[in-house]
A and B are shown apart, each in its own frame.
Chain A
Amino acid sequence: MSIKFEKVGYTYSPGSPLEKKGLDDISFELKEGSFTAIIGHTGSGKSTLMQHFNALLKPTEGQIEIAGTTITPETSNKNLKQLRKHVSLVFQFPESQLFENTVLDDIAFGPKNFGFSEEEAKESARSWLNKVGLPDEISERSPFELSGGQMRRVAIAGVMAYEPDILCLDEPAAGLDPRARKQMMNLFSEYQKAGHTIILVTHNMDDVANYADDVLVLEHGKLLMHDCPDQVFKNRAWLEEHHLEEPKASLFAAQLENFTFAKPPLTKRDLVKEIEKNLKG
């Protein structure tokens, strides 16, 4: 189930006075089971691109092959449920999508829509409640009584409870405290290791370095680069030119004079290893 974009373009309100190009001639292919990060500064088209993965937006040019479905500009809005069962989106601040009376019902909403029986849905909801690190006791409480971070977890559980093959995340950890952030990112990483594909939109370059194995860099609606993190973070001048940051580890490494690196370290673990090597050698 690879994901293939072929010359995809998207124009907002075509033919009206407010016409605006969102995506321009985007082509790429993502491997099944990969962890892809989409980066680029604000307004570069990340969120627009993301909404194409489950056809919330349909391309105005080109075509997309994803999860056995082909999306073209002519694709009808009906019968997209099957696609959305396989490809799921977690929007920024997903806690705003909670609406049910109890936490459990809210998590079970997705599974029920995708054909799970009442029992299966509840069971899946209960297990995902634990997986996102929430205790069973809150399952019968109203989601609106929870803290912001807990609401976020409930919302994310609600999207993962029907186990989509492809999970797209738009800044899932924005506004969380450091510990919760790490927990959520590890949850996604484990989900990937269980054989699912993850696509992450983020501004946090450390997350890219730590978790991603593939990076898409966008600028002004165009695909600037599609490569592994090592290649993307290789050229400092290029990053600066395109308003991108480096991971903290590589910034730190750049400050260390008289140290030699086999390759520039991107994560804390690599950095520590390289420093040890240098000090011994």
Chain B
Amino acid sequence: MSKILIGRYISGNSLVYKMDPRGKLLATIFFILIVFMANNPLSYLIVTVFSLVAVAATKLKPKIFWDGVKPLIWLILFTSFLQLFFTVGGKVYWRWTIFAVSSYGIENAIFIFIRFTVIILISTVMTVTTMPLEIADAIEWILTPLKLIKVPVDKIALVMSIALRFVPTLFDETFKIMNAQRSRGADFNNGGLITRAKAVTPLLVPLFISSLETAIDLSTAMESRGYRGDDGRTKFRVLKWSKYDLVNLGYFAILIVLLLVFRTH
């Protein structure tokens, strides 16, 4: 469990940390979209350099990012190999029945590999430098226009921040119950698929009960502190744009200009 990096915040104090979460979230989404604009070796080089600079700007240890890529490495390699063996065209180096290694194949495999890696790197930059609650605030801000079509954005935001708040609590609770059941002989790691599925009952039933109880307690506590669920609540955590966000904006503006110039049409 300790190896999974998605959604984990690691404290730090570099430039990237000072950026507004809204800017970072938009930049991440934007980056994932424009990566697909790259279509020749030079443009892929630009994308790679830009994401590596972003990684370096966090001033975190490279190992953290390697941990982010590691769980997905098989998927990346698998996709790259598919590209390598099944792309037709260009100079053919090797052929066996339906498999063929061609110059196009090699090129495509490398492109896919880079595409995957940089997307994971940039998403990791976003998640390790932004606290989950900040991400929730950023999502709320992005959803604000939906208010026009009567989407209850405030409530969605509340649900999101409560959900995020309880992720660690539920994790702790899960581990505690698991340990308690292990202590009285439950076995979560052995046996076939069906045995294991059955072994989850002593874990899931208490977990559901405790989640429901927590929900009831929390809603009572919220009501007793004056929450009514209607409009007119003020905001305590206010996000502010700063000069650092101009860096963010400028950085991606340069990236998109370079990509537009150097991609082949």
Contact = CB atoms under 8 A, between A and B. Distances in A.
Interface of A: 13, 16-18, 51, 54, 56, 77-78, 81, 84-85, 88-91, 94, 96-99, 109-110, 112-114, 144, 158-159, 162
Contacts of B2: 13, 16, 18
Given A17-B10, A17-B61, A96-B177, A159 B202 contact: no
Contacts of B182: 56, 84
A78 B206 contact: no
Interface of B: 2-3, 10, 61, 64, 67, 173, 176-177, 179-187, 189-190, 201-202, 205-206, 209-210
A112 B202 CA distance: 14
A113 B179 contact: no
Given A90-B183, A97-B177, A99-B205, 12 more contacts: A16-B3, A17-B64, A84-B185, A89-B183, A96-B176, A96-B206, A96-B210, A97-B180, A97-B181, A98-B206, A109-B184, A114-B185
Contacts of B183: 54, 56, 84, 88-91, 159
B13 to A, nearest CB: 14
Contacts of B205: 99
Given A96-B210, A99-B206, A113 B173 contact: no
B180 A89 contact: yes
12 contacts: A13-B2, A17-B61, A78-B189, A81-B185, A85-B185, A88-B183, A89-B180, A97-B181, A97-B206, A99-B205, A109-B184, A113-B186
Nearest to A107: B184
Contacts of A51: 179
Question: Which of B2, B3, B177, B210 has the most A CB atoms < 10 Å from its CB?
Answer: B2
A89 B178 CA distance: 12
